[in-house]
Structure 1
Amino acid sequence: MRPSHITAILKREFAAVRHGQHTPVMLWGPPGVGKSQILSQVAESFGVPLIDLRLSQLEPTDLRGIPFRVDGWVEWAIPAMLPNQKRHGPEGILFLDELTSAPPTVSAAAYQLILDRHLGEYTVPEGWAIVAAGNRHGDRGITYTLPAPLANRFTHYEIEPHVGDWVTWASHQGIDQRLIGFLLYRPEFLFEIEPNQTPLAFPTPRSWEYAHRALQKFADAPELLLEALQACVGPKAGLEFKTFIDNMARMPDVEAILRGEEVAIPEELDLQYGVAATLVRRAVDAMETHEAHRIYGHILDYATRLPEREMGVMLVTEMFRTIGRPLLAHPGFTKWARQVSDLMLYER
């Protein structure tokens, strides 16, 4: 399931807590696909805290607490990291990450927390949702089989990387447009992991964010850039991306396109993707400014001129994903839509 759909499901799941209809959620997926980031976005959208516990790094006493003697009796000190209504608020999300990587003794403690919403003398506040996540068998990580009674207490969703969702996120996060253009051009490199191989670096949505940082850190040291990119996403993806970047030096003048000038469309497909990614970024930058209408119009005119209509569809689709319905109200959109009425406009 694509990340945007997972996000929508988790928002509904959190809202259901207020009506007593919450069911704990288990997210499955390979490393680096953004499971933690999705939870952060959901918590932020509701304005509630997120408590992220990495179970693989905990001991059973970290959840159960430490015993101490009181008047001849043994009581348990409740861990401060668990949700507390006074400290953290009446609502929030408890995220039990790396559940399948936790030792059985820790997962047993988590089992009671999930099953009964309490552990020993501790009780999860009523307004808190419980979400867990873990890697699948075959994801080249340390995994334990989830016990059937525990698995039956969750609803299960499997996250798969999706280029469209990643581009939408990247366009709003200021990710380098060259990187966005490359993954639009070569979407198979967004995520590539071979279960039978063990490279230290490989492409994932998370490692591409590291590659974005490398572009900034080594902008003035081109002789080091290739090695830096390969250190983030692996030898093959790093080399392909560096070659793409080198070709971007021949990209046409995007500013001239935004001024409405008739700029020659490059023949090379990778350059066309590079132009498209840059135009989408400029459209995002223009949102809620007095220049937005003009810039949208010139980009739509450019999309209309593209000889390969599918390329124009891709460009306008990515604009729609990042800008939303204001794009549909632009007169240039109607003109473009008539030209491609027999093609799919965008994917829901």
Structure 2
Amino acid sequence: MSISDGFDYVTYGSVCDPVELERFLGHTMTVNDRLVADGRRGTPVCVWGRHGIGKTDIVESVARARGAAFVSIAPAQFEEMGDLLGMPVVVDGGAATAMAPPEWVPREDVPGVLLIDDVNRADDRILRGLMQLLQRYRLASWSLPPRWQIVLTANPDGGDYSVTPMDDAMLTRMLHVTLRFDVKRWAAWAETQGMDPRGIAFVLTYPETVTGVRTTPRSLVQFFERIAALPDLRADLDLVTMLGDACLDSSTVSAFVAFVNNDLDILVTPEEILGARDFAPVAERLAELGGRGGRRVDLLATVCTRVVNHLRQRTTRLDATAVANLRGLLTLEALPADMRLAMAQDLMLLDRSLGATRVLADKAVGRLLLDLAAVPS
């Protein structure tokens, strides 16, 4: 159990980032599949975490990646037990009644995932009604098909969340894990979604603005989708402010306006770094960036992170120009030693078909990295 700062937020299980959560869910689902094949029941998983950080999307993504069918329900919308159990219908010519399951109940005998979203937003009666489903994968009126699994999401107990506490009898029917927001993982995901690069750069530069109140990864996506059609943010700053105020905390909006006015023009994009026929002007801009405001290491870190994320999404092999420019970036004196070493490690982990490791094959680069690694921290 972990308690967050500010409020007495109560969560359960290890705290993990999105990649770790995907691995955990994948492994757990594989084990559950094996248990079912042996005639035993799997165990549901409950993913805890603050609102808007991507719990639901990750669960659905894992299910889709496994080729599983996916059904999501929100028990907070259930008004009565009939929404969970179904409704009685007359059978045998009026001699008896039977329960007709709700329309959402999975019926196909295929691998599937039932997501019970925001489970602790439900009324206490509904929570108690779910207990048999979590333990036996069935209720009095219907059963899940054999190859279906159950995953739940929940907001933390305590603090400012309006949730129904779950007692030990319910908690012990599940495995638990807690998702936290990780800015680098989010930025990598945002690159794959074609998110506005100005928005990605802002979050990387000012991760502290993701407060978790009104400003969440979800509300930031809403904002960035709406500014994407504005080519010149500074020219439309009044509209940008209105769009920000519509979905973000005022402190985040103020930081974004300052970012547009002060930082946006001086950031160097991955495309500029990799494609420059003459790297010297790019190196000068990066050096200026490193010296601006006493040394804007945060902006340099943003540039490096975006370069690595760009390379992860690249499908074509790096040409000689891109390799030479990456070598120039790694040897740039404006970059702190730890940043160069971290970037070198990232390049080593990239797909070999990309050719990124050729950057490190240069003797001068290799010697520099060895010297930097030997310097005591």
- TM-score, normalisation: structure 2: 0.78
Confirm or deny that 1:339 pairs with 2:359: no
Which secondary structure state, in structure 1, belongs to the residue aligned with residue 245 of structure 2?
A: helix
The 1:104/1:192 distance shift into structure 2, 3 A limit, reads closer
How far did 1:230 drift?
A: 3.2
User: Equivalents in 2 of 1:105, 1:234: separation in Å?
Assistant: 35
Which secondary structure state, in structure 2, belongs to the residue aligned with residue 129 of structure 1?
A: strand
Partner of 2:187: 167
1:13-50 C-alpha deviation (Å, 9 max, x unpaired)? 11123211632111111101111011111012111121
Partner of 2:276: 259
Which secondary structure state, in structure 1, belongs to the residue aligned with residue 150 of structure 2?
A: strand
The 1:163/1:67 distance shift into structure 2, 3 A limit, reads same
How far did 1:340 drift?
A: 3.7
Q: What amino acid does structure 1 have at the position aligned with 2:242?
A: E
Of residues 6, 9, 18, the one that matches 2:33 is 18
How far did 1:227 drift?
A: 2.5
User: Equivalents in 2 of 1:338, 1:67: separation in Å?
Assistant: 77
1:180, 1:277 within 8 Å by CA — same for their partners in 2? no
The 1:250/1:154 distance shift into structure 2, 3 A limit, reads same
User: Equivalents in 2 of 1:115, 1:64: separation in Å?
Assistant: 16
User: Equivalents in 1 of 2:367, 2:222: separation in Å?
Assistant: 40
Q: Which moved more, 1:247-256 or 1:173-182?
A: 247-256
1:48, 1:91 within 8 Å by CA — same for their partners in 2? yes
User: Equivalents in 1 of 2:43, 2:333: separation in Å?
Assistant: 48
Partner of 2:168: 148
Partner of 1:74: 97
Where in structure 2 are the equivalents of 1:1-40 lying within 5 Å? Answer: 1-20=16-35, 22-40=42-60
User: Equivalents in 1 of 2:196, 2:330: separation in Å?
Assistant: 21
User: Equivalents in 1 of 2:99, 2:305: separation in Å?
Assistant: 56
Which secondary structure state, in structure 1, belongs to the residue aligned with residue 163 of structure 2?
A: coil
The 1:45/1:256 distance shift into structure 2, 3 A limit, reads closer
Report how many aligned residue pairs link the two structures.
331
1:164, 1:318 within 8 Å by CA — same for their partners in 2? no
Q: Which moved more, 1:176-185 or 1:3-12?
A: 176-185
User: Equivalents in 2 of 1:125, 1:65: separation in Å?
Assistant: 17
User: Equivalents in 2 of 1:304, 1:288: separation in Å?
Assistant: 25
The 1:291/1:325 distance shift into structure 2, 3 A limit, reads closer
The 1:92/1:191 distance shift into structure 2, 3 A limit, reads farther
Of residues 302, 321, 331, the one that matches 2:329 is 302
Of residues 132, 137, 151, the one that matches 1:112 is 132
1:259-304 C-alpha deviation (Å, 9 max, x unpaired)? 252221223325434543553464355x222446643552343132
Of residues 215, 224, 228, the one that matches 1:216 is 228
- Paired-residue identity, %: 23
The 1:61/1:218 distance shift into structure 2, 3 A limit, reads farther
Which secondary structure state, in structure 1, belongs to the residue aligned with residue 157 of structure 2?
A: coil
For structure 2, the residue ranges without an aligned partner over 5 or more in a row are 1-15, 37-41
The 1:328/1:306 distance shift into structure 2, 3 A limit, reads farther
For structure 1, the residue ranges without an aligned partner over 5 or more in a row are 194-201
The 1:291/1:66 distance shift into structure 2, 3 A limit, reads same
User: Equivalents in 2 of 1:310, 1:340: separation in Å?
Assistant: 10
Partner of 1:312: 340
Of residues 199, 217, 235, the one that matches 1:205 is 217
- TM-score, normalisation: structure 1: 0.84
User: Equivalents in 1 of 2:230, 2:18: separation in Å?
Assistant: 30
Instruction: Pick the structure with greater CA Rg.
Output: 2
Which secondary structure state, in structure 2, belongs to the residue aligned with residue 94 of structure 1?
A: strand
How far did 1:107 drift?
A: 1.2
Q: What amino acid does structure 1 have at the position aligned with 2:276?
A: R
Partner of 1:272: 300
Q: Which moved more, 1:101-110 or 1:223-232?
A: 223-232
Which secondary structure state, in structure 2, belongs to the residue aligned with residue 76 of structure 1?
A: strand
User: Equivalents in 2 of 1:318, 1:237: separation in Å?
Assistant: 30
User: Equivalents in 1 of 2:69, 2:150: separation in Å?
Assistant: 12
Confirm or deny that 1:133 pairs with 2:153: yes
